[in-house]
Structures are given as C-alpha cells and as structure tokens.
Amino acid sequence: MVTETARHFPTAGNYQEALQNPSVCFTHAELRESVPDLTKLRQPRAISGAFASVFPLTHTATGRRYAIKCFTRDVPDQQARYRAISEKLSALPAAELSQPWKIGFEYLPDAVLVGTARYPILKMEWAQGITLSAWLDAHHDDRRKVDRLTERFAQLILDLEAHGIAHGDLQHGNLLVADDETLRLLDYDGMFVPDLAGFAGTERGHRNYQSPRRGDDDFGTEMDRFSAWLIYSALKAVAIDPSLWRQLHETHGEYLLLNEDDLKHPEGSSRFPTLLSHSNLEIQQLAEHVRILAYQPLAALPALAPNPVAVVPAPTAPTTSASSGALPAWMTTGHLEHAATSVSPQQGTLDEPIGFAGRRVVDVLAMTFLVIAIAVGAFTVPLAPVLVVLASIGVWVARRTRVETIAHRSRLRDLDVRRGAVADTAGAADALQRDTLELDRSEQRRSSDQAGLRSQLKQRHDQELADIERRKITRATDLDRQILALEQRLREALRAALEQERSEIIQRELARFTLASASISGIGKTLTGELANNGIRTAADFTGIRVNPSTTGYSSTSTSIILASGRAVHVRGIGEAKGKSLLQWRDGLKTRAQARCNISAPTQGSAITSRFAADRRQLEGQRRSIDTDARTQRDQAKQRLEADQIRLSEDAAKAAAAAVRQRQEFARRRLEIQNAPQELAIIDARIAEVRRHRHVTSHRRYLKFVLVGR
C-alpha cells in the first residue's frame, strides 16, 4: 500500500484565481487550450464539494467538455486509490453493463499550478444529464417512466455488485439521468474496488442517504446496500403513487422521500408512517424493509433484490366476472374449503355426484321390514298401519344415515353458511372501518406516546447535563477559592519571612551602636552606666519608651524604657525628655539601617514556596480533572440517552411491524368485501348445482338402490 505524506491544499478561491489563466496553470496540453465556464463576475465557475471543487472546461478547438476536479483537502493514498479505481472501471466491458453509467477520468499528479506549487487534479469526461431529484420533479407523474428508471437503477446496482464495486456516496446529486433516460454515476472519490481491500474509507456519504449505523470503518462491497434500498424504494413508491413525491419531497430538498431524521427516528417521523400505512402493500413492505435495515450494521445488509418479499397488490376492482365462473386466486386458500372438493375451480360446476354404492345390512333390514309391513297390511291386520309407518320411518332413517346423503347435506349447509357470511358485506365493511379507525387511533396514540417518551428522555438528558455543569462550576469555584487562599498564605509567609529577615538585619546593625560611644543630649556616663545596669547597652536593646501617668495624685509622670524582649523597665534619672532623646537617637540609627537594607525577597523564599508547591499541585490537578470528569459524565449520559433511544426505536419498530401486519390483513379483508358480489354469484351457482343433483340421493332413488342394488 502506498502512503502519501499529508500536505496543505489550496482553497476553492485559490483554484478559481489560478484557472483564470489555463495556459499558465495547467501542464496538460489539452487543458492549456481549454477555457473555464465563467460566472456573471467573469470568474471561473466552481461546483464546490466536501474536499474538492469541480470546474467545467471546454476545449477551444474541438468543443469537447471536461470536468476538472481540484482537491481542497488531502486524501490518504489518493493517487493509489484513483489508479485502482481507473484500472477497474476501464476493464469493465461496455457490453456487459446494463447502461453506459461509468464516466471516464484521468488522475494527473502535479497538473495545476497554484501560487508556486503544483497539485494533482482529476480530468473527467463531461456527463450530460440532470440530477435524479430534478428529473423526478419533472417526470414523477409519468408512472411508466419512473418505473422504467427504477429498473435501470436496480440494474446499475446489480452491475456494481457483480464486479465487487461500491460507490460509497449514492445520492440524487451523483445520479444523472441522461436524455435517453439511462443513468450516469458521478463522483468516484469514495469508491471501493477489490484492489482497495484493506484501505480505510475517505468519506461517509450524504447524510440523507446513509444508514445510521454506517461508521468510519465501513469500506467494502456492502457500503452501498442501504443507500441502494433507500433509493430503489423511493423510486418504486413514486412509480406506484406519484402523489407521494408532492407529499413527502420538499422543493430543493436534499433527499427523495426520507431524510436523515426519518431514518434515525422512524417512530417520530412524519414521513415514514405515510409509507408504512399506504394502501398499496408493496409500498408498505418496501418502507418496512428500509426501516428494518436502518437498525442493522452494513455488513449484515442484503444486496438489492427487487421484490424481495412476496408482494400483495393493493385492493383493486375484481377482474374476473361472476358469469365466467372462474375462481379468483385469493379465494383458493380456505374461503370455500368444503365446496372446493366438489367444484372445479376452472369451470365453476360440480362434478356429477356418484349415486348410492354398496348396500349395508341396515339398508336390507329396513327394506325387508317395510315389505313385511306392507304384506301384513294386505291381510288387514289391526296393527298393520302402525307397522307400515314404523317401517317407512326406518327406511327414511337408513337413507339419512348413508354417507352419500350426509355429504350432500353437509355440502349444501356449508355453502349456505358461507353465503350468509359473504352476503353481509355491509356488516363486514362497518367492522373493517371500525378496526381501521381503532388502529389509526392506536397508531396516533403510540406515535404521540413515543414522541412524549423521546421528549422525556431528552429533557432528562438535558437536566443531567445541567446538573453536571452545575457540579463542575461549584467544584471549580471551590478549588479556585482554595488556590487563591493558598496563594494568599504563600504571599503572607514570604512577606513575614522578609520582614523577619529585614528586622534581624536592622537589629544586628543597631547592635553595632553602643550608648557608651554615642553622644546623646543629657545622657552622660552615670546614666549610661545606669542604663547598662538595666540591660540597655546598644540601640538594639530597646524599642521605645512609655510615659506613665502619676499614681500619687501629683502632676509629675514617670518614664519606662521598652526592652527588645518587650519588658518595660524604669531607669533612675531617665525622665520623659531624656527618654525621648534616647529614642530619637535609636530611631535615627534605625532609619539609616532601613535605608541600607535593600533585600526584596527572603533568603528562605524557595524553601517557603516549596512547602506550598505540593498543595498547589494537588489543587491544580483536581482543577484540571474537573473538565475530564465532566466530559466522562457527559459521555455516560449520552450513552444512556442513546441506549434508551435505541430501546424506544426497537419497541417502535416492533409496534410498527405489527401495525403493518394488521393493515395487510385489513387490505385482504377489503379485497374480500370488494369481491363479495363475485364470490356470492359463485356460491349461488354452486348451491343451485348441488340442488340440481339432489335426485341422486332422493328417497325414490334409495328405494330402487336397495331393491335392485343400483
């Protein structure tokens, strides 16, 4: 497998600017002599897609048209892919294809100059035609044309399947209908051919035509199957009922009859029920088939096979007249079971019944008793009339118990019962209407309930997300507060350490200045000695003075000196004036020491910061994990929502399938009601036929049979 290095590609605008000069930008000789189609602004006209722009060009000498695809995004193994696709398509004999659907193309590396770099292009034959949806806009009312196109689409898919090819993006825009109403298949970027087995897919196709279960890893012969069924079903439905196009297709809609939302949520769709409940059973069954396929992985999907199930046509007026006596096909299974044994389905007449055969002992005894009773009656025996009556009753009973007589009565009785059931068409029609209305109401309730349940799931999911976000914000706010508090404590610790270190430096500086060497007004050797006796020898030994009010009632005051330890001492001879002089001396020294102390950070700053670093890392780790935890919780909530939605969809699918089966039964009943006059005529004809042959089991024929044996 060839792997190409990813590179940056120009934008559609870059290509548009370059193609203003084809003779300069193209390396291919034929393209250098071609001109692009222009817009009203005299710019090359571009048809932009997901990762490429297509420019129509016309050769100036021959008038031949081309479509030039310029890539705006790097495609892995691009050249190897196009080479494999080109070789496969070129090897397909035109005679083996149902129609000329393939478009010739040529991959040209480094064929167009944009700026200072060259890039690959795809040179394609120009396909003449209109898109499938545009063609349906114009021709949907022509059932014969649409049906013919449906078959041609099916044949195109069979061509692809037969050669192990999958297009990858089957949709209305990539299917052109030519003037001869054959199809052309465009855009081979995501195509699979056998030589690309093992490559990864490059796209997932148009969202309105793909299975909800299609993933990025789906790249093989089966990736077209859902799209093929979807398009075929839509075409077939329009061919049967053209009004569906006007009813379900929106003008300029990027789909045929069903879109992405319909495929993902058929139970909440407004379009799916129209197809599932259609009066034509083929439309119902195709829609149900698509709905079921939407829940299956692509690898499990069957290839397109027109008429995949036994299709029962929608109820129509009966075509067989009662007078012909022909039995409709729908009546051959269980409608006239008993009569069928004695009526020819082709002629509608009874076979000639077989007369009595094989005399029983009871037949002979009954007849003997009757003959004896009559003979006795000839001699005018008093009880003879009674004996004759009893003997006659015995003969009558014997005839009634004959198999031939019982079969005749049973046949006539069954026909009478069936006639009564068929004759009550008004009651059957009312019952059918009631059942249909009840099913419609049930389906409406189910649809409404499904929508309500789906809305509840969405609301619950939204509430979960809101709760997750609220917990995330609360937790983040708390951690941010803790981190700010930690930073505040760190700043305070650094500031305290700095103040402590500055204080120690100043204290050491003050300790250098002794009172003995100082010149302080009013303080001589005697007071210096007195101060020393109280522990005050340097400027570092005290911090201030305190003037104490008198406790004796006089106006005089006392002055205390505050030592560095914080203790206050009274020094004899030091009053308020001398105390202030002493403090002024110290403050001057302190001011000069502070001016010389220029450190801005404590020596132990790193150690202090390290003590807080572990706590900060822990808090920051918790802060970072908030988004991860919230994302995990959101993913779990999404998984729960999707699981519940799948469960709802499966329940809805089962209910919809049951409703389809009921509607099929309703259609069968409706057909019976419509054909009731014909069936009634056939039953009446059979009853008349049975009665015409009643003589073969009559009493007279029985008496003759018992007497002579035939």
Give the per-residue pLDDT at 98. Answer: 92
The angle, 0 to 180 degrees and rounded to 10, between the axes of the packed helices 281-293 and 225-240 is: 160
Residue 374: CA count within 13 A, CB half-sphere: 6
Give the per-residue pLDDT at 235. Answer: 97
Least trusted range by pLDDT, from 396-405, 512-521, 690-699: 690-699
The alpha-carbon radius of gyration of the chain (Å, integer) is 53
Give the per-residue pLDDT at 321. Answer: 34
| Three-state secondary structure of 225-294 | HHHHHHHHHHHHHHHHCCHHHHHHCCCCCCCCCCCHHHHHCHHHCCCHHHHHCCCCHHHHHHHHHHHHHC
CA dist 540 and 528 (Å) reads 15
CA dist 99 and 127 (Å) reads 14
- 569: helix, strand or coil: strand
Least trusted range by pLDDT, from 133-147, 400-414, 464-478, 508-522: 400-414
Q: Which tokens sit at 438?
A: 């009840």
- 12-125 and 130-300 have identical folds: no
* C-alpha torsion sign, points 395, 398, 403, 407: positive
* C-alpha torsion sign, points 227, 233, 235, 238: negative
178 has a pLDDT exceeding 50: yes
C-beta of residue 676 within 8 angstroms of C-beta of residue 422? yes
Higher pLDDT, 519 or 667: 519
- Give 179's contacts (C-beta < 8 A, 6+ positions apart): 128, 129
Q: Which strands make up the sheet holding 175-177, listed edge to edge?
A: 130-131, 175-177, 183-185
309 has a pLDDT exceeding 60: no
Q: Which tokens sit at 89?
A: 């398509």
Q: Which tokens sit at 410?
A: 């049973």
Higher pLDDT, 217 or 5: 217
Give the per-residue pLDDT at 423. Answer: 66
Count of CB atoms situated within 10 Å of the CB of 707: 12
Q: Which tokens sit at 252?
A: 């300029």
Residue type, 522: G
57-110: pLDDT as tens digits: 999 889 899 999 999 888 778 888 888 998 999 899 888 899 999 988 888 988
245 has a pLDDT exceeding 70: yes
CA dist 337 and 343 (Å) reads 10
CA dist 88 and 99 (Å) reads 17
Considering the chain, what percentage of its residues have pLDDT values greater than 70? 88
Burial of 615 (0-12, 13-18, 19+ CB in 10 A): middle
324 has a pLDDT exceeding 50: no
Q: Which tokens sit at 599?
A: 């450190």
- The CATH code of domain 130-300 reads 1.10.510.10
What's the predicted TM-score (pTM) here? Answer: 0.47
Best CA proximity match to 12, nearest among 48, 43, 50: 48
Average pLDDT over residues 595-610: 86
- The CATH code of domain 12-125 reads 3.30.200
Q: Which tokens sit at 66?
A: 């081309």
Least trusted range by pLDDT, from 585-594, 631-640, 701-710: 701-710
Q: How far is CA 340 from CA 334, 336, 411, 567, 686, in A?
A: 9, 6, 10, 131, 10
C-beta of residue 59 within 8 angstroms of C-beta of residue 66? yes
Give the per-residue pLDDT at 554. Answer: 53
CA dist 295 and 128 (Å) reads 37
User: What is the average pLDDT value for the chain, to the nearest integer?
Assistant: 82
Count of CB atoms situated within 10 Å of the CB of 641: 18
Strand pairing partners for 56? 67
Q: Which tokens sit at 464?
A: 């979960």
Give the per-residue pLDDT at 310. Answer: 36
182-239: pLDDT as tens digits: 999 998 888 999 999 888 887 888 999 999 888 878 888 999 999 999 999 999 999 9
Give the per-residue pLDDT at 354. Answer: 59
47-48/52-59 β-pairing: antiparallel
Q: Tokens 């808090």, residue?
A: 619
C-beta of residue 66 within 8 angstroms of C-beta of residue 57? yes
Give the per-residue pLDDT at 317. Answer: 35
664-673: pLDDT as tens digits: 788 777 777 7
Give the per-residue pLDDT at 415. Answer: 80
Burial of 118 (0-12, 13-18, 19+ CB in 10 A): middle
Q: What's 51's DSSP letter? A: S
Q: What's 543's DSSP letter? A: E
Question: Any idea where the domains of the chain sit in the sequence?
Answer: 12-125, 130-300, 322-426+675-708
CA dist 46 and 67 (Å) reads 10
- Answer left, alpha or beta for residue 102, where phi above 0 means left and psi between -120 and 50 means alpha: beta
Give the per-residue pLDDT at 381. Answer: 58
End-to-end CA distance of the chain: 93
332 has a pLDDT exceeding 50: no
Angle at 156 between CA 153 and CA 157, to 5 degrees: 90
Angle at 651 between CA 456 and CA 633, to 5 degrees: 45
